[in-house]
Structure 1
Amino acid sequence: MSSSQLAIGRWSCVGHVYSVTAVVAGRRPVFEDPGNAAIVVDGIRAAERAGRSRTMAWVVMPDHLHWLLELRAGVLADCIGQLKSRSGRLVNRRMGWHGSLWQAGYFDHALRREESLVRHARYIAANPVRAGLSQQVGEYPFAWCRWPEG
């Protein structure tokens, strides 16, 4: 699916919560390297510091990112675009690569009021367990949830 097809019907609204998935070009496991994964985590934190987002959960999997966030300023496409641009530039520099790190576009889902933020956040945080990358939630170093299992 092209990035323009992904954008059809897309809207963003400050104060709404979105679940976003961004995928590495060619599904290369770039984020198996902890230094590369840390760059993405720093980008998520930079978006928060800049006031663009409020994060509920994230996980940096070997070849993609899941991020549950409340949009705090601007539009979602700019927030995600800045994260992908920054992290792509820094990973490429670190690895001596050229070209696009990320696939064009991203997948997003605006959560409706009746959807459980906590349940969705915990589902994201449990991705490494389902993928066999960790034995339990909380042990994978590149996942975070505002509401730990409880």
Structure 2
Amino acid sequence: MTTTTASPPPVRGHAALRAGRVSMRGQAHHVTFTTHGRDPLFQAFPAACAAAAALNDPALTPGASVLAWVVMPDHVHCLLRLDEAFPLAAMLRTLKSGSARRINRATGRTGRVWGRAYHDHALRKEEDLRSLARYIVGNPIRAGLARRPADYPFWNAVWL
């Protein structure tokens, strides 16, 4: 008699893109995550303020330093560097869940704030962090939300 063992189902979707990735200490990442259903939640000032405060709170980014970020109407871009051997996915779960609680509390809403997925780009050593930070904080200008960074309140960078 032959016994067969069922193999696990294949990993699909966004999880498949991250298969085999390893979080490394000192690695910088450009991460983008969207609101649930691309809802322009952050057009509302209280929601954007709550998201900004969450991005500035190191308790919500364990094992990472946030170098630059911008809150757009329906998504967030951030540049971060992993400080410890703490997986990027785990840190983003902490950030997204903690910020969602704060955003919902600040706006009196309930339900999902963030989409499940995120996009990340692990930077190569030759990529310039400051140039990428300028690109990130320049998003509101390219989107027509402001004429210059000083006109848009929902961004930060450690190089200020």
The bucket for the TM-score relative to the shorter chain is: 0.7 to 0.9
Note if 1:53 corresponds to 2:69.
no
Deviations 1:2-54 (A, max 9, x none): 34234334331121111000100111111111211122222222236875222
RMSD over aligned CA atoms reads: 2.1
Bigger CA radius of gyration = 2
1:75 Cα deviation (Å)? 1.5
Aligned-pair distance for 1:111?
0.5
Matched, 1:143 2:155: yes
Q: How many pairs does the alignment contain?
A: 148
The answer to whether the 8 A contact 2:60-2:94 is kept is no
**Higher deviation after alignment, 43-52 or 18-27:** 43-52
Structure 2: distance between partners of 1:137 and 1:9: 37
Q: Is the 8 A contact 1:3 1:104 kept in 2?
A: no
Structure 2 segments unaligned to the other structure (5+ residues): 1-11
CA distance in 1, matches of 2:80, 2:70: 12
Map Cα deviations across residues 68-110 of structure 1 (whole Å, 9 max, x no partner).
0111131211211111001112222333433321110211111
Q: Is the 8 A contact 2:50 2:103 kept in 1?
A: yes
- 1:124 corresponds to which letter in structure 2? I
Quote the residue 1:79 is aligned against.
91
CA distance in 2, matches of 1:21, 1:50: 15
Identity of aligned residues (%): 40
CA 55–20 in structure 1, closer or farther in 2 if over 3 Å, else same: same
Q: SS of the residue aligned with 1:65?
A: strand
Question: TM-score, with normalisation over the residues of structure 2?
Answer: 0.82
Aligned to 1:134: 146
Gaps of 5+ in 1: none
TM-score scaled by length of structure 1 = 0.87
